[in-house]
Structures are given as C-alpha cells and as structure tokens.
C-alpha cells in the first residue's frame, strides 16, 4: 500500500462540513456512511489532482465504486460523477472501496475503508454507547490514514465504456430490444441481449 499524507481540507473544494451537508441533502439522512463517503471522495480527488470536479475538471476523471451503500451517494455528491454521465462506474464487489482515475494522465488510486476504523472510533468517543453515532462523530476527526488504505493502480477502460455517444446500437434477434455500448452477446450466430442470452432478472407476466 502507498501512504501519502493528506490534510482533511482541500483548498480547491468547499469545506468538509459543507460537502457533508450537501451529501446529506441528496441522500436524505446523516449517517456514518455519508461521513466516510465524503472523506473518501475528498481523498480520491486530491490523490489524482482534481481541483474542480464539477467545473473545469468534470470530464477529466472517472470513479469506480465497489458497493451500493450510503457512501456511494456521498461520493457521487462530492465528485459530481453519475451513472447517467458514465463517469461513475459500479463494480459489484460488496467492498467499501472506490477507485479514482484521471483520464488524461492515467493516474489512478484505489481507496479502501479500513475495518479497524470501526473499533478505533472508541478511542475518540468512548462515552458514546451507540456504535453508529460513535463512528459518525469519530469519522469526522480521524486521519485519512486511520480511515483508509490506498494504493496506486492501473485501470484500462474499454472505449465502449467511456462517456460520450454510443459507439453502436444493435437489435436483439429474440426479444427485439435495442442494445447499446457493446453489451450484446453473439450466440450461435445470433445477436442477443444479455437477458435473452443468459436469463433476465425479471419474469414476464402471462397475458
């Protein structure tokens, strides 16, 4: 792991508490995951040198999130990345982690929340019995090194996964749905959508 000292505040970003307030507004409630997600996003942006994520740098980076929990909403709020813009990528690993990739330089860092931070929160607020409230308050104060581990990584992004117009659209030969972004499957000489090729997450009701 590569440890790079980072200050809590980033001069080019709004203050932490302002970012947290906006994230809570978007997410709907304050929780430890929101604090953790805002802190993680601030660290990720600093590591790859993004200073204005919602302005001049908005097309310069991608974020890969590995879990669909509260922290992901916070990461989206701070960075401005989203699935609709194709700048936020969800990789279903179930890990409280995210990777920040600078598209122009290729520099990328994967940041993972430390499991030890949960217990370490006791040393900050031993008087708070509720562990969730204790973690919420402690995560505001803990250092980046106490909250996370991070390392430099390489990320290869296929052309069809980049932001921009779809490279092609094809029609499934079974159901007739149109498939974009090279998500089709060719099986026995037929072009299929993934639902027809591998089975869908939904079942059609008869009639």
CATH number at residue 63: 3.30.1330.130
Model pTM score: 0.91
Same-domain status, 21 and 112: yes
Same-domain status, 24 and 120: yes
Q: Give residues with Cβ within 8 angstroms of 184, minimum separation 6.
A: 170, 172, 191, 192, 193, 194
Same-domain status, 89 and 23: yes
CA dihedral defined by 17, 21, 26, 32, rounded to 10 degrees? 70
pLDDT at 9: 53
Same-domain status, 80 and 177: no
d(CA 171, CA 125): 58
Domain count, the chain: 2
pLDDT at 11: 56
Same-domain status, 123 and 40: yes
Q: Residue 110's domain spans which residues?
A: 16-160
Assigned domain for 204 exists: no
Q: What confidence tens digit (pLDDT) does each residue in 63-121 have?
A: 999 999 999 999 999 999 999 999 999 999 999 999 999 999 999 999 999 999 999 99
Assigned domain for 51 exists: yes
The more confident residue out of 1 and 79 is 79
CATH of the domain at 170: 3.30.60
Same-domain status, 124 and 182: no
């Amino acid at each position: 792991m590569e440890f790079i000292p980072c200050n809590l505040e980033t001069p080019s970003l709004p203050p932490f508490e302002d970012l947290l307030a906006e994230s809570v507004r978007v997410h709907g409630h304050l929780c430890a995951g929101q604090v953790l997600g805002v802190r993680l996003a601030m660290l990720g942006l600093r590591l790859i040198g993004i200073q204005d994520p919602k302005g001049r740098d908005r097309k310069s980076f991608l974020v890969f999130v590995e879990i669909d929990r509260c922290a992901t909403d916070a990461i989206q709020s701070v960075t401005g990345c989203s699935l609709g813009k194709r700048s936020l990528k969800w990789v279903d690993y179930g890990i409280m982690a995210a990777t920040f990739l600078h598209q122009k330089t290729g520099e990328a860092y994967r940041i993972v929340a430390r499991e030890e931070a949960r217990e370490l929160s006791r040393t900050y607020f031993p008087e708070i019995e509720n562990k969730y409230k204790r973690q919420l308050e402690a995560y505001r104060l803990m250092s980046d090194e106490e909250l996370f581990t991070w390392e430099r990584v390489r990320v290869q992004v296929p052309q069809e996964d980049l932001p921009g117009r779809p490279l092609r659209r094809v029609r499934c030969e079974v159901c007739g749905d149109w498939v974009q972004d090279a998500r089709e499957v060719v099986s026995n000489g037929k072009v299929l959508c993934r639902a027809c090729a591998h089975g869908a997450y939904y079942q059609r009701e008869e009639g």
